[in-house]
């Protein structure tokens, strides 16, 4: 069953954490759907994953080779045709607890300085907890990522 990891971003932007988590996912042999609300963020992530510290193979949904992509960047209305084992959401992108059941991992990254993002993350936590999914909360409050209990 899926494990949902909530990352409360307060010190660094999502662009710093996304490659770290994706590298771990790819090392585990997982395909990933990365879902965000805004085309601007998807554009930034696309560029960052191509030109960051290390290239991470990926593609934008809607291309001719979506099914072959190890990481597929999607908007909420685009299906992930790469048969992902993991889902990463940003900007409060919607998720369906029932659709998460076959996955290995779900990462929910949210901006700790945005009250709406906090509300959305809390709602998603309740949804997933109510669906009997394992949820973990991670904070960078101390300057490094730590799991909170």
CATH number of domain containing 98 = 3.40.50.10110
Q: Is 69 left (phi over 0), alpha (psi -120 to 50) or beta?
A: beta
Residues in contact with 3: Cβ distance below 8 Å, sequence separation at least 6, in sequence order? 104, 105, 106, 133, 134, 135, 136
User: Each residue of 53-89: pLDDT tens digit?
Assistant: 668 999 999 999 999 999 999 999 998 999 999 999 9
pLDDT of 149 higher than 90: no
Q: In this structure, what DSSP letter does residue 139 have?
A: E
Residue of 102, 66, 104, 77 whose CA lies nearest to 88: 104
> DSSP readout, 14-34?
HHHHHHHHHHHHHHTT--EEE
Token pair, residue 73, equals 């960047």
- Domain interval for residue 13: 3-148
Task: Report percent pLDDT > 90 for the chain.
Answer: 90
Q: Using one digit for the tens of pLDDT, what is the confidence trace for 123-136?
A: 999 999 999 999 99
Please check the confidence at residue 10 and state whether its pLDDT lies above 70. Answer: yes
**For residue 35, what are the β-bridge partners?**
74, 89
Query: Number of folded domains in the chain?
Result: 1
* Predicted confidence (pLDDT) per residue in 103-130, tens digit: 999 999 999 999 999 999 999 999 999 9
């Amino acid at each position: 069953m899926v494990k949902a990891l909530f990352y409360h971003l307060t010190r660094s932007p999502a662009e710093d954490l996304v490659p770290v988590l994706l590298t771990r996912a790819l090392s585990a042999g997982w395909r990933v759907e990365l879902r965000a609300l805004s085309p601007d963020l998807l554009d930034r992530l696309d560029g960052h994953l191509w030109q960051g510290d290390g290239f991470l193979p990926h593609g934008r949904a809607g291309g001719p080779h979506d099914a072959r992509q190890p990481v597929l960047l999607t908007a909420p209305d685009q299906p992930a045709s790469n048969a992902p084992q993991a889902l990463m959401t940003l900007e409060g992108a919607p998720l369906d607890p029932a659709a998460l059941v076959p996955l290995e991992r779900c990462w929910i990254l949210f901006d700790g300085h945005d009250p709406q993002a906090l509300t959305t993350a809390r709602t998603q936590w309740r949804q997933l907890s109510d669906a009997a999914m394992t949820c973990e909360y991670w904070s960078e409050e101390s300057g490094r990522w730590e799991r909170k209990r």
